[in-house]
Amino acid sequence: MRHRERTGRRPHRAGCPHGLRSIVRSRRWPVTTSGSTAARSLGDARGSGTVLAIALIGAVVALALVAASVLGGLVVRQQVSAAADAAALAGADVAMGAVAGVVCDAAARAAEANAAAMNGCSVDGETVTVEVSSMWMGMPVRARSRAGPAPG
């Protein structure tokens, strides 16, 4: 009976609350499943994985919110830039005589059609420069554009 099972129960020892204690043998040395110093120190860390997981989820959510707001700002910036381009082109059409009307009024209508407010309009011959803005999260987003005939 030299090759017995390496796991089993030992009889009651003093200080063991359950009377019997499970023993696992690792090569030569018996390792107990309860009452050891290692088991007691691991018991102090119970629940720390949950706290770490919650903190990690919170960090990911915060990062996602920041990324969403930054990307939203980039989208609004592009929309305002497109509104400025449209306003400058509308004003340049009037300045070159392709469309009848007043240059800055045509540019302002084009800016308003693209959900932007006209801040400035200047005409230099057939070249029109406009500045438009829109609000995003309480902050003004501005864009400037110039349109006219090709130089040369």
- Helices then strands, each counted (H, E), the chain: 3, 6
Helix (H, G, I), strand (E, B) or coil at 83: helix
Give all strands of the β-sheet with 29-32 in edge-to-edge order.
7-10, 21-26, 29-32
**Side-chain half-sphere CA neighbours of 152 within 13 A:** 1
pLDDT of residue 5: 53
* Mean pLDDT score, 13-24: 56
pLDDT tens sequence across 32-43: 655 555 555 555
Residue-averaged pLDDT of the chain: 83
Phi-psi category of residue 47: left, alpha or beta, with phi > 0 → left and psi -120 to 50 → alpha: left
* Mean pLDDT score, 111-127: 94
* Mean pLDDT score, 75-81: 96
β-pairing, 117-124 with 21-26?
unpaired
Please state the domain extents for the chain. 7-43, 77-147
What is the spatial distance between Cα 127 and Cα 20, in angstroms, rounded to a whole number? 96
**Residue 143 Cα distances to 79, 127, 131, 133, angstroms:** 9, 17, 6, 6
pTM of the model: 0.63
What is the spatial distance between Cα 88 and Cα 81, in angstroms, rounded to a whole number? 11
